[in-house]
Structure formats: structure tokens, C-alpha cells
A = this chain, B = another copy of it.
Amino acid sequence: MLQFSRKVEYGLIALKHFAIGPRGAIFTAKEISDEYNIPYDLLAKVLQKLARAGVLVSLHGVRGGYTLRMKPEEISLATIIDIIDNEKPLITACGCEDTECCERFDICTIREPLGKIQREINTFFQNVTLQKIL
């Protein structure tokens, strides 16, 4: 459907919450899920992924939560999608480079042209930073 996944949207909402809040502020997954009406469990996993990837810092235990580690201008949309959905912002099915992922790999006439479009989209998403979404 050529659309961001909900997880990515939830991640963006959360990241923006950190970015517009007081610098270094700590928020819990519960606070954010309450504030934006996002399913807690799902948001929790998204934040965990962002933490594992080094975008957020996680603080365990009572009075724990998350805080932003990277600067908003260092976090690109491409990175966020990559972290949360485990994939590059992918437009074309034949984004892969081998014959395994597409049965008509060698006879496909649109693979190369779409690859070019792919790269342009990638570059675009790399240049859209969290800073620009505030």
C-alpha cells in the first residue's frame, strides 16, 4: 500500500515527543502511549528497538524510561524505518541484488529503472531528519 507502518508512525510520534520536550527529559513508554493513545505493548517494542540502535537511551527500574541520545538533526527518516521495520525504505520489490528474491529476475525489464528510482527515494529519506519533522 506504499505506506509507513504504524510502528514507524508511533516511533516518529515518540521521537518528536522527546525532541520537543526539555532537553534530556526522561519519558516512560506508558506516558507516551497514554498521551497519544498508542497501544502500550507495541510502542514499548518500538522504543526498545530505538534504544538498542542507539537512538534512545533506556533506563531500567523504577523512575526509569527513555531519553534521547542522538540529536534530532542526526536522525534520518531512512534510519528510523531501517531500525523499526528492519528494512531500508524500499519502493521496488527487486531491490535485492540476486536471483533468489524474484522469479523473473533475469527477464524483468523494470528492475534497473526502478532501482534508480529506489536510490533517489533512499537519498530523499536520508535527507529528511527528525529536526525537519518538528
Contact B128 A16 (CB under 8 A): no
A132 within 8 Å of B by Cβ? yes
Partner of A93, one of B6, B20, B92, B107: B6
Beta-carbon contacts of A116-134 to B below 8 Å, as 1s and 0s? 0100110010001000111
Chain A window 6-21, contacts with chain B (Cβ cutoff 8 Å), 1 for yes, 0 for no:
1001001100110010
CA A5 to CA B92, docked complex, whole Å = 9
In the complex, what residues of B have CB within 8 A of residue A5's CB?
A: 1-2
Range for the number of chain A residues in contact with chain B: 35 or more
Residues in B with CB closer than 8 Å to A9 are: 92-93, 110
Task: Report the separation of the CA atoms of residues A113 and B85 in the bound assembly, to the nearest whole angstrom.
Answer: 21
Contact of A90 among B2, B13, B89, B117 (CB under 8 A): B2
Other A-B contacts than A2-B89, A3-B91, A9-B92, 18 sampled, CB-CB below 8 A, are A1-B5, A1-B85, A1-B87, A2-B2, A2-B85, A2-B90, A2-B91, A3-B92, A4-B91, A6-B93, A9-B110, A20-B109, A37-B103, A37-B104, A113-B133, A120-B124, A121-B121, A121-B124
